[in-house]
Structure 1
Amino acid sequence: MSPTSQYASVHVRRDHAHLKWSKNIEPVLTVSPGETVTFDAVDSSNGQLGKTSETSIIPSVDFSLVNPVFGPVYVRDAQPGDVLKVEVLDLETADWGWSAIIPGFGLLADEFTDPALNIWSLDKEKGYTLFKDNICVPMRPFLGCMGVAPASDDELSTVPPTVGGGNMDCRELSVGSVVYLPVQATGALFSCGDGHAAQGHGEVCGSAIETPLKATLRFEVCKNQPWVTSPQYQIPPGAQPQVIPDRGQYATMGIDSDLLEATKKALRNLIQWLVATKGLNRNEAYILASVVADLHIAEAVNMPNYEVAMSIPLGIFA
């Protein structure tokens, strides 16, 4: 594929959306290493949900349209075997976002079969948003999707992540972070999207605080880095501003010989604790866990059982 002519403005618009990873999608922009590009991305529902939406709209959401990414951008000198270095310079959310329980989707989809929707008001000056008036959720914007085109001629869905990145949903890829992606097609053909205002590690109900987002990224091409065969990243010190009091954390554990089941048990136990001690219903607890609580593997060597913990910061509770 030969690169397109460079645009006069290094900006990727909202109408530069696509729903597949493919090296056969024509690039909308060509840049040189070291250049900065802004991306204007709609939310992961592809505009199907908005700040006035109600729960009744959830069953009508068309899943074939979700998770658009914006691009692709052709980076000069990027060849298969190289590494695309992506610096996250700035992220600007809209003044609203949404989180939802969508039937058939999420870690506990079999247990949460009714839809639910929460519309968030995002105050970028305060650095946090309120849940049920008295629970402060710190905002830490990031792109859920950053990726490059695959080497094959296959068209890959933008929903699951790939070795080229994609829908990684890693909350640590915020401002100041650097992402390294293995280039698989000439020009890398980078795209991004899926803006989040906040998310816990795991995004367990299937959504974070989903929001339209404007991202400013800078690209470099790295040669001779064979250790990058899937996404890698670096985060700066002090990457998480302390906008809520540090009162420690509460964590629940799940223990099982199956890693996925251990993860589900940890989540179930946290939901039960939130309902019993914080006055939330189960749907509210599930959504709150998805946007602010963190899953991690606490132990993975004492077979036959895995131990997964899920922690939530106590400072969010006013």
Structure 2
Amino acid sequence: MRALFVLGAVAVSGFIGTAAADTSESKWQTRVVIEKQGAHCVDDPNCFNRYHPDIPAVIRANPGDMIIYHTRDALDSDLTLDSNADDLAAVDLNFVHPMTGPVHIEGAERGDVIAVTLVDIEPDEYGYTVIVPGFGFLRDIYTEPYLVNWKLSRTHAVSDQMPGIRVPYEAFMGSVGVLPGQPEVESWLERERLLGEAGGVALPPQPIGALPSAVCGPEGSGKDQCLRTIPPRENGGNMDVQQMQIGTTLLLPCFIEGCGLFVGDVHYAQGDGEVSGTAIETGAVVTVTVDIRKGEGAFIKGPEVEGGAQIKNIEPSKFYQTIGLPLKAAGEVPPPHSYLDSQKIADLTNLSEDLTLAARDALIKMIDYIQRKHGLTAEQAYILSSVAVDLRIGQVVDVPNYVVTAVLNEDVFAE
């Protein structure tokens, strides 16, 4: 047996000596690459920031191809490591979120489901987390702009504005989805119109800054029906679900021929909740593969995810947890409840079966803990909560007080 092994080794060695190329030059996969062009989305024919079925595909891909998206940050910004909060005044929210694509998936039709497996995310070296006035879960409390610049690697993020903190690399696609069909556009616009008329937060079509301009701009063919990218919907989009890590498979119903798969808004790291309104935002190179599940759109009506150990792998090794209840001060009407216009809410200090208020209670307690225990400012604690605190439902049965907890990953504090 030993002689046979040696003979085999010699034979392999002789073969290598006569080969014309090494193994790195042997290819079998098809790579479909969608690169960035120009400084901003407006300069880039491979970029768009609204949803409409008439947005043309920029390239076609077959099931099984490696599709490589070069993405922009969520604000399509010019921010750098030298930026400060004053620079946020130049940010135009009409330009969020710049999406790369869409890609036509050969063989996919309305009624199918595409299975999108995340293969890799290579982040840029710079990222940011911001507080934008009027946006975020505690927008009534944090009313001034604030910016944290992060230095990114494939292991962790650090920031001069957050000394002593190292946030682990847990990147995912903040926005990923497919183009809606015309029936979906009409249905979703109508339900959001009714919500807006009732006083709720709804973002109607806005042609200013809309891309592609030929479809969604001020003179565009579909300017009054181009959906904004901020809210997630049944087509996916801005879901901001951190469990969609490398190796997971996202299932998306297909509404048009070819589906129109897009990717953008990569998050280097995020807590469940993204409470300040941003995670660690960054541009990236995202690689996915796609398979088609014929006819499964009859059962899968919106995004669903298949995964393995990814959830376990992003759990902290040590944590601190606050418990939130649906409690508030007398006379207070939190912003998420203001559209209900009810004096009953203002007078009560305890609301019934209210997860939003319980989450707010847990988060405020967590920010207080971070300030008290770790010496951060209120703004720093809010930013840290956005990237390293998970809001989780504890229970939804013990009426009237549903429970939401806030779980801080204590591993982020460098020893």
Q: 1:63 aligns with which of 89, 93, 103?
A: 93
Supply the distance in 2 between the matched residues of 1:29 and 1:106 (Cα, whole angstroms).
35
Superposed, 1:179-258 pairs within 5 Å as 179-225=250-296, 226-237=298-309, 246=317, 248-256=318-326, 257=352, 258=354
Q: 1:101 aligns with which of 131, 143, 157?
A: 131
Supply the distance in 1 between the matched residues of 2:138 and 2:168 (Cα, whole angstroms).
24
- In the alignment, structure 1 residue 128 sits paired with structure 2 residue 156: yes
CA contact (8 A) 1:85 1:221 kept: yes
In angstroms, what is the RMSD of aligned CA positions?
1.7
Supply the distance in 2 between the matched residues of 1:63 and 1:26 (Cα, whole angstroms).
24
Supply the distance in 1 between the matched residues of 2:411 and 2:99 (Cα, whole angstroms).
34
CA contact (8 A) 1:182 1:230 kept: yes
Task: Kindly provide the amino acid, as one letter, of the partner of residue 270 in structure 1.
Answer: M
Supply the distance in 1 between the matched residues of 2:359 and 2:60 (Cα, whole angstroms).
42
Supply the distance in 2 between the matched residues of 1:245 and 1:198 (Cα, whole angstroms).
13
Q: Which has the higher helix share?
A: 2
Q: Which has the higher strand share?
A: 1
User: Where do 5+ consecutive residues of structure 2 fail to align?
Assistant: 1-29, 37-43, 186-224, 327-351
Supply the distance in 2 between the matched residues of 1:227 and 1:312 (Cα, whole angstroms).
36
Supply the distance in 2 between the matched residues of 1:92 and 1:233 (Cα, whole angstroms).
21
Superposed, 1:1-318 pairs within 5 Å as 10-14=32-36, 15=44, 16-124=46-154, 127-131=155-159, 132-152=162-182, 154-225=225-296, 226-237=298-309, 246=317, 248-256=318-326, 257=352, 258-317=354-413, 318=415
Supply the distance in 2 between the matched residues of 1:316 and 1:296 (Cα, whole angstroms).
19
Supply the distance in 1 between the matched residues of 2:118 and 2:82 (Cα, whole angstroms).
30
- Distance change in 2, residues 1:166/1:238 (3 Å): closer
- Distance change in 2, residues 1:215/1:31 (3 Å): same
1:227 Cα deviation from its structure 2 partner: 2.8
- Distance change in 2, residues 1:17/1:186 (3 Å): same
Supply the distance in 2 between the matched residues of 1:51 and 1:240 (Cα, whole angstroms).
32
Task: Kindly provide the amino acid, as one letter, of the partner of residue 267 in structure 2.
Answer: H
1:58-91: CA deviations, max 9, x gaps?
A: 1221000121111010111111111011010110
Which has more radius of gyration? 2
Supply the distance in 2 between the matched residues of 1:249 and 1:155 (Cα, whole angstroms).
43
1:239 Cα deviation from its structure 2 partner: 5.9
CA contact (8 A) 1:69 1:158 kept: no
Q: With the length of structure 2 as denominator, give the TM-score of the two structures.
A: 0.71
Supply the distance in 2 between the matched residues of 1:97 and 1:21 (Cα, whole angstroms).
26
Query: Equivalent residue for 1:3?
Result: none
Q: Please state whether the residue corresponding to 2:322 is helix, strand or coil.
A: strand
Q: Please state whether the residue corresponding to 2:237 is helix, strand or coil.
A: strand
Q: Please state whether the residue corresponding to 1:189 is helix, strand or coil.
A: strand
1:236 Cα deviation from its structure 2 partner: 2.5
Task: Kindly provide the amino acid, as one letter, of the partner of residue 117 in structure 2.
Answer: E
Q: Please state whether the residue corresponding to 1:57 is helix, strand or coil.
A: helix
Supply the distance in 2 between the matched residues of 1:245 and 1:239 (Cα, whole angstroms).
11
Q: Please state whether the residue corresponding to 1:135 is helix, strand or coil.
A: coil
Supply the distance in 2 between the matched residues of 1:239 and 1:264 (Cα, whole angstroms).
24
Aligned residues: 307
Task: Kindly provide the amino acid, as one letter, of the partner of residue 13 in structure 1.
Answer: E
CA contact (8 A) 2:316 2:409 kept: no
CA contact (8 A) 2:320 2:410 kept: yes
CA contact (8 A) 1:140 1:240 kept: no
Moved over 3 A (4+): 238-242
1:9 Cα deviation from its structure 2 partner: 6.3
User: Where do 5+ consecutive residues of structure 1 fail to align?
Assistant: 1-7
Supply the distance in 2 between the matched residues of 1:239 and 1:201 (Cα, whole angstroms).
12
Supply the distance in 1 between the matched residues of 2:307 and 2:248 (Cα, whole angstroms).
4
